[in-house]
Amino acid sequence: MNLYAERTANIRRTWALVLGFLVVVIAIGYAVSWYYGNPFILFVAVIIALATNFYAYWASDKLVLSLNHARPATREEFFDFYTVTENLAITAGLPKPKLYVIDDPAPNAFATGRDEKHAVVCATTGLLAMMTRPELEGVIGHELSHIKNRDMLLMTIAVVLAGFVAIIANIFLRISFWGGGRRDSNGNAVLMIVAVVGIVLAPLAAKLIELAVSRRREYLADASGVLLTRYPEGLASALQKIGGYTAPMQSANLATAHLFIGDPFGAKSGGSSGWIERMFSTHPPIQERIQALLGK
């Protein structure tokens, strides 16, 4: 499958996954409402799920920028940032996104927003100071590819829904400590166990799906970004610098970690990671991304 066919399939998977998350949320609401014999709980779960999705769609950029303490970037202060983004946006056939910066020495960047017309590209001051122009072009090409591939909406909604599932599970478990729920022996005991196990494991499953989607889309954005710049060595060199910086960002948080081009908690030293660490990592290994870019 070529890159353009993968991009089309990527968009279909986006909506399929969003619908899948909604089904999971409704299923959890049904399980909790059945357990407590209160259908109103299901109604509330559906309303909250729809409301959080609506909020995520319309305010995702503001939420993410606020969490990371970003500020608008002016053309006078960050001329290369502006001109590189303008040029690559024209090449990609995209409106120029709004530009923001985070005052942080760690090199990193991300894109957010609900669609191409309401997109934001944000970079740290550390990245803008550290990168050569070809490296900066590689990073911006990567972020514009996230916009072009419509990754931003899915990533934000995945965060909101995964968080919502975790909250529902937490509320359920806290209430369970105080008793309540169906406890008769007419076949309901097995269903009750299934419901409890499903609710407990749902946040973990939601998080694993979120991380897997994030890692897959990083590879696709790397490849798409290189198509814009026609210079894979630029992005590869930029990733090398990002991966070589081990200190975490000052505003790093788990809620938005998967949005960044590199791990905001700092690169892991000491060789390759184990499979458990890979499973819960928000990003594929930097060296594997570089090898994919350079064909090694």
Tokens of 52: 């959080």
Report CA torsion sign: 70, 71, 72, 77: negative
Report CA torsion sign: 179, 182, 184, 185: negative
Please confirm, yes or no, whether 6 is among the known catalytic residues. no
- State phi, psi for 93 to the nearest 5 degrees: 75, 35
Q: Which of 137, 143, 210, 218 is catalytic?
A: 143
- Cα–Cα dist 109/142, whole Å: 10
The DSSP line for the chain is --HHHHHHHHHHHHHHHHHHHHHHHHHHHHHHHHHHT-THHHHHHHHHHHHHHHHHHHHHHHHHHHHTT-EEPPTTT-HHHHHHHHHHHHHHT-PPPEEEEE--SS--EEEEESSGGGEEEEEEHHHHHH--HHHHHHHHHHHHHHHHTTHHHHHHHHHHHHHHHHHHHHHHHHHHHT--S---SSSHHHHHHHHHHHHHHHHHHHHHHHHHHHHHHHHHHHHHHHHHHS-HHHHHHHHHHHHH--SPPTT--TTTGGGBSS-TT-PPPSS---HHHHHT-SS--HHHHHHHHHT-
Q: Which amino acids are annotated catalytic?
A: 143
